[in-house]
Amino acid sequence: MIQILILLFINWCLTTSVVNASILDPLRSYFLVRLPLLGKLISCVRCLGFWIGLSTFSLYTYFGKVDGILFLPIWANYIIYPFVQSASCVILENFIVFLGKLTYININKD
């Protein structure tokens, strides 16, 4: 189970880096203009989290690093894990945004 949590965290780091990194802004803008479907994919935490979850889970199970989720058959894990990854990316991203809003200091001019 700890393997799954570590994999979720690593995939979230990868997803948020691609979606939010300012160094990738020109690349995202280029793809939004030239290839809108791919541009939307790399601009959306939920969408990219799903596909990163599917690809990394497939690689990890292929190399025998992850056993599965909740003792389900492996085919069920291929269906469930990408959705779990996508949801965890959205939850962690919103939590980070919430924490960022708590750090603002409002200065009154009165």
User: pTM of the predicted model, to two decimals?
Assistant: 0.81
Number of CB atoms found within 10 A of residue 4's CB: 19
pLDDT higher than 80, residue 9: yes
H helical segments located in 36-106: 36-41, 45-62, 74-102
Structure tokens at 40: 């939307």
CA separation, residue 109 to residues 103, 104, 106 (Å)? 19, 16, 10
Measured CA to CA, the distance from residue 43 to residue 20 in angstroms comes to 8
pLDDT at 76: 87
pLDDT higher than 70, residue 95: yes
pLDDT higher than 80, residue 105: no
Mean local confidence (pLDDT), 37-49: 93
